[in-house]
A and B are shown apart, each in its own frame.
Chain A
Amino acid sequence: MISIFLPGAILISALLYFNRNKIVNYSLVIFYALFLATFAIYQAFHQNSTELGFFKSDALGVLLLLTLAIVAIFALFHGYRYIATHDESRKSRSLFFSAMTMLITATGVAYLSNHIAVTWIFVEITTLSASVLIYHHRNTQALEGVWKYVFICAISITFVFIGILFLSLSLKQTGVEDLSFDSLRDNYAQLNPFWLRLAFLFIFTGFTAKLGLVPMYTAGIDAKDKAPAPAGALFSSVLMNLGFVGIYRFYAIVARTEILPWANTIILIAAFLSVFVATVYMTRIKNIKRMFAYSGIEHMGLVMLGLAAGGIGVYAAILHIVLHAFVKPSLFFQFNQVYRVYHSKSIYDVGNYFKYNRAGAIVLLLGFISSTAMPPSGLFVSEFLIFQSLFVSHHLIILFAVLILLTMIIWGFGSNMFKLLFTPPMIINEAKIPKISPWESLSQYLLLAFAVYLAYNPPMYFVNLIQDAVKLLPQ
């Protein structure tokens, strides 16, 4: 169905750009949301089918595609609210929705790609559409954000390409010319380890820009800060998952070869540094939106720790990215309403949010509990399993260091969050505060509740999908 979905989605995106009529725009967006949901469900029922030679709906792809469909539909709804409350021009509205649909399409198709070069192409397209969204406000700061994002993404996409070139060098003796993940996994024994090491180093570094890991995480932070909140929600969930897919599929090849311990060391270093960097910033940060973005860096660090530790950690890592993709967008969606109340992102200008929007304040409180992985939260389960896998694989020093860092993150996150929720702000003109309907927080409640449900009472289908995805690695 990709042969229908991809051209159809590109057509919708183009129509959204060229037609600026309000009713046509919104009906196209609704149609796109239905189209995406149909596509995801179709792929879920046709698992492991190959399409167009380059795409295969394996378990990992289907799992993340379903996640994407759920998050994207809510993001489109909040995009509609965002545009409606911001009094946008017709041009910027159509450009916004056109870029949103393009970003969602490219991400979804990239999940299903079975060929490293095809993944690479769609990652490029996500950079292109993301930059349109970051530059939505057309001021100097947005320009700075988008310039940094584009430049760092261009360099990292070049790194991935260099990695692909090294990979082809490692294949040179074997005579295999097929760079699909399946064929690489089958021919792992013939890969030249030296070139494979270089390839892993470059591909891993390249994808960290999307995943949000040290060293290339910086671009993503500015992007999530400057883009409108619905787009930021996509960047901090489904787009990060795209980076994970790229690394995971390549890691599945590396995991079969002799360089696995070396690759695990690289991943452990990058992951630990990411948690460390996130801690440093989150304990002193004053911009709420950037704080959410750094929280994403921390979670991706944990995911990669689980992946490198192996065993149950791999299962936990995949569970964690799915749950994180539900929790983090709800915080970003809610932030959009916070901004409508205070017109500021700085912690100094906000406060006493419980008084102004009770339903929204409860979302923030639950979102805080969820993303710091306190027990009722779904992320608690996956983080616990990750720590267990670190314990089993004898990474005790890393485990204790990460636990201490996470405690500091909870302190930093909590002190900002409780200031926002309870402490009255210094100056506020209460007459200007808009009345926000509690219904706008409904989607956030649904997402948070869904994360809890999936973690504590997972349907068999969901567990099977994760287990099949784990089977990409050698057991």
Chain B
Amino acid sequence: MTDILLIMFAITLLYMSIANRLLTYIRLLVLQGFLLFGVTFLALNQINVANLVLILLETVIFKALIVPIFLNHVIKKNNITRVAEPFVPNFISLIITTLILVITIVLSNSIKDTNLDKTFFVVALSTLFTGLYIITTRRKIITHVMGYLVIENGVFILSLAVGNEMPMLVNLGIMLDIFASVFILGIFFNKIGDVLQDPDVNQLRNLKD
């Protein structure tokens, strides 16, 4: 069952690489939040209840509700055009994301470590690299933020892989999640909206040598 959820998660990555509208990205982030909720619920069966509840709340309330609502609010408030405006055609993005998946699968098969749950490892790594890919190939700042949120989800999956032995690391991951997201989104995006009328990354290109 965990595997099915994780594979669905990998499919959302493929969809995200060809999504055109910002709203689709937000919906995919919501879906990813719910999938992570399911994975956490099934995978972390050896940790104490209070901790589990905390992690579940983080996935559902934070990842699947607060962040997407806030992103939606930012898009409306700043009148951001609703298209993602990638630098590369969607077809190529799809191929590259598929390649990322294939390479991580090949890579994980070369690891001879019986302790490792390979599905977690493959999905986590490919989420990480897809996030980086989204950051580098999209024009708008808000899509950079979304790429960062995808990376965070990847890190979260990786932390679940060791979650039963070291629940402290999952909690640290949650701290990173909340800290970075609140910080980047909350304080920041408001400011960018206030100072710049059009939050396009091109306006943040004055500092250079």
Contact = CB atoms under 8 A, between A and B. Distances in A.
Interface of A: 117, 120-121, 124, 128, 131, 135, 139-141, 143-148, 150-151, 154-155, 157-158, 161-162, 164-165, 168-169, 172-173, 177, 179, 192, 194-195, 222, 225-226, 281, 284-285, 287, 290
Contacts of B176: 124, 157-158, 161
Contact of B148 (A140, A151, A222): A151
Among all A-B residue pairs, the 9 with the closest Cβ atoms: A144-B204, A154-B180, A172-B115, A168-B162, A222-B207, A165-B158, A143-B195, A168-B166, A144-B207
B111 interface: yes
Interface in B165-194: 165-166, 168-169, 172-173, 175-176, 179-180, 183-184, 188, 191-192
Interface string B99-127: 00000000000010101100000000000
A350 B135 CA distance: 39
A335 to B, nearest CB: 17
B17 interface: no
A162 B169 CA distance: 10
A355 to B, nearest CB: 29
Nearest to B112: A194
Contacts of A158: 151-152, 155, 176, 180
Given A161-B173, A169-B115, A284-B209, A154 B155 contact: no
Contacts of A290: 209
A99 B184 CA distance: 18
Given A121-B175, A165-B158, A140 B196 contact: yes
Given A121-B172, A161-B159, 10 more contacts: A121-B175, A128-B179, A144-B204, A148-B207, A158-B152, A168-B165, A169-B162, A172-B162, A177-B165, A195-B113
B140 interface: no
Given A143-B192, A147-B204, A168-B165, A161 B115 contact: no
22 contacts: A140-B196, A143-B195, A143-B204, A144-B206, A146-B188, A148-B207, A151-B144, A154-B184, A157-B176, A162-B155, A165-B159, A165-B161, A165-B169, A168-B162, A168-B169, A169-B162, A177-B165, A177-B166, A194-B111, A194-B113, A222-B207, A290-B209
Contact of A141 (B148, B169, B191, B207): B207
A165 B180 contact: no
Interface residues of B, number: 38
A361 B184 CA distance: 41
Which residue, A157, A169, A173, has most C-beta atoms of chain B within 10 A? A169
A131 B179 CA distance: 14
Contacts of B179: 124, 128
A191 to B, nearest CB: 12
Given A128-B183, A144-B206, A161-B172, A154 B148 contact: yes
A195 B116 CA distance: 11
Contact of A143 (B169, B184, B191): B191
B148 A147 contact: no
B128 interface: yes
A56 B71 CA distance: 42
A147 B188 contact: yes
Nearest to B181: A154
Contacts of B113: 169, 192, 194-195
B159 to A, nearest CB: 6
B129 to A, nearest CB: 12
B188 A285 contact: no
Question: Which of B115, B148, B179, B209 gathers the greatest number of chain A CB atoms within 10 Å?
Answer: B209
Nearest to A165: B158
Given A120-B172, A158-B151, A148 B116 contact: no
Given A147-B192, A290-B209, A155 B148 contact: yes
Contacts of B204: 143-144, 147-148
Nearest to B128: A162
Contact of B184 (A151, A161, A164): A151
Interface string B137-153: 00001001000100110
A384 to B, nearest CB: 30
A115 to B, nearest CB: 10
A194 B176 CA distance: 25
B8 to A, nearest CB: 22
A162 B132 CA distance: 14
A326 B176 CA distance: 33
A176 to B, nearest CB: 10
B168 A117 contact: yes
A183 to B, nearest CB: 13
Contact of A155 (B151, B161, B183, B207): B151
B175 to A, nearest CB: 7
B150 to A, nearest CB: 11
B103 to A, nearest CB: 15
Contacts of A285: 209
Nearest to A222: B207
Nearest to A143: B195
A281 B209 contact: yes
A7 to B, nearest CB: 19
